[in-house]
Structure 1
Amino acid sequence: MSRETRSFAVIGLGAFGSAVATELARFGNQVIGVDSDERRVSQLSDVLTSTMILDTTDEAALREAGIDRYDVALIAIGRDIQASILSTMNLKMLGISTIWVKASNKAHHRILTKLGIDRVILPEQEMGRHIAQMLNNPVVQDYVSLGNGFSVVNILVPERMDGKELAALGVGKKHDLRLLGLMRGTEFHACDQAGLALKKDDKLILLGKRADLRRFGDTL
């Protein structure tokens, strides 16, 4: 198997797994989709690099299918926690270097963490926090949590700031934040450009702690 692109095995082709697998394939990666449900597999057979009907709780079947040759595995099995855990253990034994697993609940999350998984995902909670951040402050268009209280956020420039210089934002002085740049439509502008002035609907890309970002958003 060529290593020019990363290869992904997505196990469990429900709504979450299918969405991830489809996007990974759209980015040009090699993606195999695996599920025990023939209907789910057939729906993605023309979208992914390959698909397979397989019982992933069977280590021998996984090995025979060549899943061990993939760089990254995502286990997105839904409510069957036992199948998720057994599949995870099997992939660990196959030696796949990077394994992400979707957890169904906090107990499932704790078990997976004990298994030494690279990342355990609780999609509903993570998306809930994401949406809450944007609902809490309408100028926040998007954000990414970096851990240790730091985030990168995308903040919309309001009409009242149109035409003002970057210094008027108070970033790095009044606000303990770092301005990484701004997006104007589809164009990126570095914020060290001389004479760059703000325009309504520019999107500021800011790095800082959540509390500082929240205070900055409130001032806009």
Structure 2
Amino acid sequence: MAKEIRTFAVIGLGSFGQAVASELARFGNKVIGIDLDDRRVAQVAPILDAAVILDTTDELALREAGIDRYDVALTAIGRDIEASILTTMNLKMLGIETIWAKASSRTHHRILSKLGIDRVILPEQEMGRHIAQMLNNPVVQDYVSLGNGYNVVTIVMPERLEGTPLSALGIGDPHDVRLLGLMRGTEFRAAETADFALACEDKLILLGKRPELRRFGDSL
């Protein structure tokens, strides 16, 4: 069955907005990029389905551009807080199903949150936590927060654990973490048996709360 193509509107084409729009397009989605700066619009025009110069604080202009027909919209306007808020309000007025917005400060975050959109993000803070987690423990290669204290991490097996059975790692007891699987090269392995032998550079995909994941990482 063919993949359903989703439609995305990315408003604000600074480095963050351009990165999001480009990746969404690379995944095969239909993406429109919008900015007041003609140079930014020109940069993404070759890789997106559409790229337009538009004042998104004008609800009528957004409607005339057909933004109300898009499934998801991201307000990625950074420094101009007023434009970010007005744009996000206009997207709500247009009835777009899913709206995310980038905040540039905690105050900006609080204001956007009051608009009742699906998610407000502080990219610098989120990336900072991500980097800190990896710097804190060198075996942690990747880290995703799921909310409510739960995280998924990718931990790379050190060379000294080559051939060690999975049961020797103490997953589940004494370490209260859950193994979701592992990557061996480009191949995913379920690794369901306790005697499964680990290889150097295997990447364990683990679910748990941060303190437990940290203790497990430290034990390696």
Quick check: TM above 0.5? Answer: yes
Deviation track 1:14-61 (CA, whole Å, cap 9, x = no partner) reads 000000000000000000000011111011111101111100000000
Question: Distance between the aligned counterparts of 2:119 and 2:194, measured in 1?
Answer: 42
Question: How many angstroms apart in 2 are the aligned matches of 1:142 and 1:187?
Answer: 17
Measure how far apart 1:4 and its partner are: 3.1
Conserved 8 A contact 2:154-2:203:
yes
- Give the percent of matched residue pairs that are identical in Structure 1 and Structure 2: 75
- Distance (whole Å) between structure 2 residues aligned to residue 26 and residue 146 of structure 1: 25
Letter in 2 for 1:182: L
> Are the equivalent residues in 1 in contact too, given 2:157–2:201 (CA < 8 A)?
yes
TM-superposition CA deviations, 1:73-128 (whole Å, max 9, x none): 00001100000000000000000010000001010000001111110010100000
**Equivalent position of 1:185 in the other structure:** 185
In the alignment, what sits opposite 1:92? 92
State the match for 1:68 in structure 2.
68
Q: Deviations over 1:116-145 (max 9, x none)?
A: 111001010000000000000000000110
Secondary structure of the equivalent of 2:163? coil
Task: State the match for 1:210 in structure 2.
Answer: 210
Question: Cα distance, 1:195 vs. partner?
Answer: 4.7
CA distance in 2, matches of 1:208, 1:124: 24
- Seen in structure 2, the aligned counterparts of structure 1 residues 210 and 55 have a Cα distance that, compared at 3 Å, is same
| Correspondence for 2:124 | 124
Q: Structure 1 stretches of 5 or more lacking a match?
A: none
In the TM superposition, what is the alpha-carbon distance from 1:158 to its structure 2 partner? 1.0
Structure 2 equivalent of residue 55 of structure 1: 55
Q: Quote the Cα distance in structure 2 between the aligned partners of 1:99 and 1:20.
A: 14
Contact kept, 8 Å, 2:103 with 2:109, in 1: the verdict is yes
- The DSSP-based 3-state class of the residue aligned with 2:146 is strand
Structure 2: 5+ residue runs without aligned partners? Answer: none
Q: What letter corresponds to residue 127 of structure 2 in structure 1?
A: M
2-side partners of 1:163 and 1:49: how far apart? 49
Q: Which moved more, 1:186-195 or 1:205-214?
A: 186-195
Could you tell me which residue of structure 2 aligns to residue 16 of structure 1?
16
Classify the secondary structure of the residue corresponding to 2:61.
helix
> Deviation of residue 194 (structure 1)?
7.3
Aligned length: 218
| 1:146 aligned residue | 146
Deviates more, 1:18-27 or 1:157-166: 157-166
Q: Structure 1 runs of 4+ off > 6 angstroms? A: none
State the match for 2:197 in structure 1.
197
- State the match for 1:135 in structure 2: 135
How far apart, in 2, do the equivalents of 1:21 and 1:211 lie? 35
In structure 2, how many angstroms separate the alpha carbons of the residues matched to 1:4 and 1:158? 40
Which residue number in structure 2 is paired with residue 80 of structure 1?
80
**Alpha-carbon RMSD:** 1.1
TM superposition score normalised by structure 1: 0.97
Q: CA deviation at 1:7?
A: 0.3
- Deviation at residue 196 of structure 1 after TM alignment: 2.3
Q: In the alignment, which residue of structure 2 is the partner of 1:158?
A: 158
Cα deviation, residue 193, structure 1:
4.7
Provide the rounded CA distance (Å) in 2 between the counterparts of 1:77 and 1:152. Answer: 29
Aligned CA distance change for structure 1 residues 194 and 130 (closer, same or farther; 3 Å): closer
